[in-house]
């Protein structure tokens, strides 16, 4: 198996493939902030993106193509794939075949079958393959998971999750392409997050119903989608992803036998990263003011002050790459496995079929 030429005490050199939104806003800053990892090489030909990266990471190297990195596989301890969705599977396969551990941005693949094939390849090669599902470390989701673990809600009856935006104008690019090979649209984008959170919190899904629409003029793929999931436990998840929501609903509304939890607003970490803030800086990371705390209670509306405010746990995106470093260094658990990602893709594929055919789809795996 190939590996880096650095000694075990030195940070593992990381090659980042892609420096668009995912690479520049999420992966590069988080890798750079992680003890035990070192951002070594960025793969991009774009001179503007190179200048942007060089301004923040003075010692970073550049490569024109992924093949340039894979030809020097022994120089790296990890490859991060943050390129367009359609490239995830071939690039991950090539990196694994070159003997390199891999992190892939979500979605890891376009189909669950492809995700499981990659997982099997990584297992045969004895290599880490992880999927960047950063929103498991959102501040609100961490708070909700804690409440559920503590039994504050009792038995969870219904999990409502909304990832809504008001973006009436198209931005263009592959994410809004109608080409099936691109795996664009909100179901694969924001849907990957809300489905992963539902599975992480509530376990396997047995049935899926979905409604998916193309609302904006000129749009070629879904921009307003609803999913209703039935979990094996009997709990139901209602999930919304939208770019056409003029009035935003609560991020979470979770109803249980003892109490409910309602939380508005988005985790602040993406906005902070976009603004150039970095983990480990002078300001506390991932925190929010008390006026944004969710509320826990029963029989009263949180909009009129009902329930008790629940201090929001700090968001912790750095925990993902800290776990990656621990997995590579010490054999600690993979924070997000490709097989977990495949289970989410089972749901997404079922949702696509449900929306297209107007039927409820059984999930058999």
Q: Are residues 190 and 294 in the same domain?
A: yes
Q: Is the pLDDT of residue 303 over 90?
A: no
Cα–Cα dist 248/245, whole Å: 6
Task: Tell me what percent of the residues of the chain surpass a pLDDT of 90.
Answer: 87
Cα–Cα dist 89/113, whole Å: 11
Q: Are residues 240 and 149 in the same domain?
A: yes
Q: Are residues 24 and 112 in the same domain?
A: yes
Q: Are residues 59 and 88 in the same domain?
A: yes
Q: What is the pLDDT of residue 184?
A: 81
Cα–Cα dist 101/80, whole Å: 9
Q: Which domain holds residue 199?
A: 139-266+280-316+347-357
Q: Is the pLDDT of residue 3 over 60?
A: no
Distance of CA 57 to the CA centre of its chain: 24
In the block, residue with structure tokens 């983990």: 279
Q: What is the pLDDT of residue 234?
A: 96
Based on the structure, what is the number of domains in the chain?
2
Q: Is the pLDDT of residue 4 over 60?
A: no
CB distance 104 to 23 below 8 Å = no
Q: Are residues 147 and 93 in the same domain?
A: no
Q: Are residues 38 and 81 in the same domain?
A: yes
Q: Are residues 170 and 288 in the same domain?
A: yes
Q: Are residues 119 and 231 in the same domain?
A: no
82-98 pLDDT tens trace: 999 999 999 999 999 99
Q: Is the pLDDT of residue 124 over 90?
A: yes
Spatial CA neighbour of 134 closest among 200, 225, 83:
200
Q: What is the pLDDT of residue 300?
A: 85
Mean pLDDT of the region 280-292: 93
Mean pLDDT of the region 158-182: 86
CB distance 86 to 183 below 8 Å = yes
Mean pLDDT of the chain: 94
Cα–Cα dist 76/39, whole Å: 10
**CA-to-CA separations, 344 to 83, 108, 140, in angstroms, rounded:** 20, 10, 20
């Amino acid at each position: 198996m190939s590996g880096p030429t650095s000694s075990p005490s030195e940070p593992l050199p990381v090659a980042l493939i892609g420096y668009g939104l995912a690479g520049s806003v999420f992966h590069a800053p988080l890798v750079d902030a992680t003890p035990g990892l070192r951002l070594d090489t960025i793969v991009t030909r774009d001179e503007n993106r190179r200048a942007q990266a060089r301004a923040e990471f003075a010692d970073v190297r550049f490569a024109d193509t992924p093949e340039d990195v894979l030809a020097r596989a022994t120089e790296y301890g990890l490859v991060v794939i943050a390129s367009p969705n359609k490239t995830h599977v071939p690039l991950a396969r090539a990196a694994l075949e070159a003997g390199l551990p891999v992190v892939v941005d979500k979605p890891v693949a376009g189909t669950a079958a492809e995700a499981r094939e990659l997982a099997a390849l990584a297992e045969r090669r004895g290599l880490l393959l992880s999927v960047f599902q950063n929103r498991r470390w959102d501040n609100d989701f961490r708070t909700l998971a804690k409440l559920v673990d503590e039994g504050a809600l009792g038995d969870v009856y219904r999990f409502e999750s909304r990832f809504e935006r008001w973006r009436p104008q198209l931005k263009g690019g592959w994410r809004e392409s109608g080409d099936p090979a691109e795996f664009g649209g909100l179901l694969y984008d924001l849907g990957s997050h809300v489905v992963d959170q539902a599975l992480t919190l509530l376990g396997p899904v047995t049935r899926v119903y979905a409604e998916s629409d193309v609302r904006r003029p000129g749009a070629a793929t879904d921009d307003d989608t609803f999913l209703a999931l039935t979990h094996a436990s009997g709990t139901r998840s209602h999930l919304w992803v939208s770019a056409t929501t003029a009035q935003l609903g609560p991020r979470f509304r979770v109803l249980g036998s003892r109490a409910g939890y309602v939380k508005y607003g988005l985790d602040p970490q993406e906005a902070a990263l976009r603004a150039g803030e970095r983990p480990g800086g002078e300001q506390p990371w991932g925190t929010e003011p008390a006026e944004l705390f969710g509320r826990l209670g029963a029989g009263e509306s949180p909009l009129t002050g009902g329930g008790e405010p629940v201090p929001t746990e700090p968001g912790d995106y750095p925990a993902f790459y800290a776990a990656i470093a621990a997995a590579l260094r010490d054999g600690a658990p993979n924070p997000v496995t490709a097989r977990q990602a495949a289970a989410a893709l089972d749901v997404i594929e079922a949702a696509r079929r449900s929306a297209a055919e107007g039927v409820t789809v059984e999930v058999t795996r």
